[in-house]
Amino acid sequence: MRNEGTSVTDDELAEQTDVEPTRRGWKRFFVRVVVVIGILLIASFITRWQMERIGEQKLTEVVTQIDNEDRAWKMEEIEAKRLARMPLPNENAASLVLEIADKIPAEWNQWRETAKWMIPTPDNYLPSPERIQELHFHKESTQAIRDRAHTIRDRPTGYYTFKWPDNPLSLFLPHLDSAGRVVMLLEYDARLAVCDRDPDRGIRAAHAVLDVARSIGDEPTLVSQNFRMMFRLKSAITALGTLAATTPTKGLEQLQAAFLADADEPLFLYGARGERAAFHRMFDGLESGRLRSMNLFTAHGETGTPIAEPAVFKFYQPLLPGDHAECMRRFTAFIDVAKLPWHEQREAAAKVAMSQETPEGMQYALTRLLFAPLDRILESSLRNRAHLLIAATAIACERFRQQHGRWPHELSEIPRTILPSIPLSPFDGEPLRYRILPDRIVLTCYCWKIGQEQPVEFRDQKAGPVEFRYPESPGFGIAACVWNPDQRGLPFSEKR
């Protein structure tokens, strides 16, 4: 007998039959999603682990290679060696530079910011009477501190005290600004000396500028060595500016020897080794957690990279050992270049730079972001060396003239007692070029721009500075001239 209360119609039975497969379908779908997500998570974990393992292997290989080829290359070891060579207090140019910088009159500091014309120049004309009068306005108020600055000339070594942080991007070097103020004071002193017809004082000021540069020593940062290069160039310009307007007799031999000796200092190598050690410690700090990613960039929003954000850094972290290894490899490649003969470094650096291109993406993110254009910095160091060699050779020619009453017919005529050997261009290994013109002698050194295979086309003989009017001019030129004595310090009124 059929129970009417529990009867199921055909429609209801059909609906029930459709729902159960649908539920089973959804259940199978969610199970599959969970399985896929699990597989992806496992694959992601394995991939991250594999990338981290490969990166750690590369890092171990690179560090082992550096340990075998370059002993005591880590920052603590570099600083320990530097500290062991620190000069005695009464011989340390650094402490004297800081003392003088603090005592420079504030009025003079304000004045020199707009007095750009005071900087020495190889121009063989004196400043205008108005400029000379303005120069003398601060002469008495700065006399004592300028005399004190001259004593730096007797301190060719120095050591500034500063502490390397785990984060090299936060390194602060205020002593470089102090040294720069002292250099400008000495440039002013040399300009005054030219106006007052006191050439020997001008040469001593130029030598003191060089020793301000030397006070930086082998500081293991590229910033420090860039400042040292800038100060060395200012010393050379100051010396040539003094020679352009006067005829000094004292201090030339000592300054020439100092230029030649300092030109042999491997400034790029000092900076590159230090930067490699600093970035090694930075990566090590990130890997160990001693240094947090959000503290790496003091204002990371301005860097254009999100990697400083903790969430992004977490995703990047497995790539960190490989990035670390790549950074060390790049620095080491340029450090090896800096150990080559001078004239081989430029081409080798260009090849290294071309081989170090990296793909976009997270791989080598920090290296790509922070790695400096070392090929350009190295070329700047070679140009700086060329400036010192040319200035030293110009002084040697002046010393020859003072002894013999004429210019040498060629550089090889200068005896070794004056010029031990003819300096070679740091770009091609060829001797510096020398010409005698009616009113001066000219020394030149040429190079090519990085990546430029063909020489620069020769300009019209009637165009450009006379120093570069060579039919065989191969490219960019660095030059210096020394004027005949009767052409030095001509009145401003005769200037064309």
pLDDT tens digits along 142-151: 999 999 999 9
Q: What share of the chain has pLDDT > 70, as a percent? A: 79
In the predicted structure, residue 463 carries a pLDDT above the cut 90: no
Q: What pLDDT, on the 0 to 100 scale, is given for residue 266? A: 97
149: tokens are 């600055």
Q: What pLDDT, on the 0 to 100 scale, is given for residue 468? A: 54
Q: What pLDDT, on the 0 to 100 scale, is given for residue 270? A: 97
Q: What pLDDT, on the 0 to 100 scale, is given for residue 45? A: 56
In the predicted structure, residue 84 carries a pLDDT above the cut 70: yes
Distances from the Cα of 36 to the Cα of 25, 87, 116, 357, 478, angstroms: 16, 68, 70, 37, 67
- Average pLDDT across the chain, whole number: 85
Sequence-ordered list of residues with C-beta below 8 angstroms from that of 453, at least 6 positions apart, any chain = none
483: tokens are 């004027």
Q: Pick from 80, 91, 107: which is nearest to 151 by CA?
A: 91
Average pLDDT over residues 209-236: 97
pLDDT tens digits along 377-405: 999 999 999 999 999 999 999 999 999 99
pTM of the model: 0.86
80: tokens are 């320990």
Sequence-ordered list of residues with C-beta below 8 angstroms from that of 376, at least 6 positions apart, any chain = 450
Please state, in angstroms and rounded to a whole number, the distance separating the CA atoms of residues 437 and 416: 24
In the predicted structure, residue 273 carries a pLDDT above the cut 90: yes
Q: What pLDDT, on the 0 to 100 scale, is given for residue 55? A: 79
Helix, strand, or coil here: 473? coil
269: tokens are 């190598």
pLDDT tens digits along 303-339: 446 676 777 777 788 888 999 999 999 999 999 999 9
Q: What pLDDT, on the 0 to 100 scale, is given for residue 121? A: 75
Q: What is the DSSP letter of 470?
A: -
Q: Pick from 306, 265, 284, 291: which is nearest to 389 by CA?
A: 265
pLDDT tens digits along 335-359: 999 999 999 999 999 999 988 776 5
Please state, in angstroms and rounded to a whole number, the distance separating the CA atoms of residues 238 and 98: 21
Query: What confidence category does residue 460 fall into, taking pLDDT thresholds of 50, 70 and 90?
Result: very low
- Among 15-24, 49-58, 430-439, 462-471, name the one with the lowest average pLDDT: 462-471
292: tokens are 């947090």
Query: What confidence category does residue 368 fall into, taking pLDDT thresholds of 50, 70 and 90?
Result: confident
Please state, in angstroms and rounded to a whole number, the distance separating the CA atoms of residues 427 and 383: 8
How many other CB atoms sit within 10 Å of the CB of residue 99? 14
How many other CB atoms sit within 10 Å of the CB of residue 380? 17
Please state, in angstroms and rounded to a whole number, the distance separating the CA atoms of residues 408 and 371: 47
CA angle 237, 238, 240 (to 5 degrees): 65
pLDDT tens digits along 21-53: 666 666 676 666 666 676 665 655 555 556 667
